[in-house]
Structure 1
Amino acid sequence: MSGAGRLVGLGIDSVDIPRLAAMLRRRPSMAERLFTAGERAYAAELRNPAPSLAARFAAKEATMKAMGVGLGAMDFTDVDLRRDGLGPPALHVTGRAGALAASLGVTGWMVSLTHTDSVASAVVAALAGP
Structure 2
Amino acid sequence: MIIAVGTDLVELDRVSRIVSRHGERFLARILTDHELAYCKGRGSSVASIGARFAAKEAVMKLLGTGWGDGVGWRDIEVRNDAAGNPSIEVSGEAARLVANRGIRTLHVSLSHTNQNALAMVVAES
Per the TM alignment, residue 87 of structure 1 is displaced from its structure 2 partner at its CA by 4.5
Cα distance in 2 for residues equivalent to 1:121 and 1:48:
15
Cα distance in 1 for residues equivalent to 2:3 and 2:10:
24
- The counterpart of 1:119, out of the listed 101, 110, 116, is 116
Q: Tell me whether 1:57 sits opposite 2:64 in the alignment.
A: no
Amino acid at match of 1:25: S
Query: Structure 1: any 5+ residue segments left out of the alignment?
Result: 1-5
Q: Tell me whether 1:15 sits opposite 2:6 in the alignment.
A: no
1:47 maps to what in 2?
43
Cα distance in 2 for residues equivalent to 1:27 and 1:8:
36
Aligned residues: 123
Cα distance in 1 for residues equivalent to 2:67 and 2:40:
26
Amino acid at match of 2:38: Y
Is the CA contact 1:83–1:89 (under 8 Å) kept in the aligned structure 2? yes
Query: Structure 2: any 5+ residue segments left out of the alignment?
Result: none
Cα distance in 2 for residues equivalent to 1:112 and 1:46:
18
CA gap 1:20/1:87 in 2 versus in 1, 3 angstroms? closer
Cα distance in 1 for residues equivalent to 2:17 and 2:114:
14
Is the CA contact 1:9–1:68 (under 8 Å) kept in the aligned structure 2? no
Secondary structure of the 2:42 match is coil
Secondary structure of the 1:27 match is helix
The structure that is helix-richer by fraction is 2
Alpha-carbon RMSD across the aligned residues, in angstroms, is: 0.9
- 1:25-70, Cα deviation, whole Å (9 max, x unpaired): 1101010111110000001111220001100100000001111222
1:109 maps to what in 2?
106
Cα distance in 2 for residues equivalent to 1:69 and 1:19:
23
Q: Tell me whether 1:72 sits opposite 2:73 in the alignment.
A: no
Cα distance in 2 for residues equivalent to 1:48 and 1:7:
32
Amino acid at match of 2:5: L
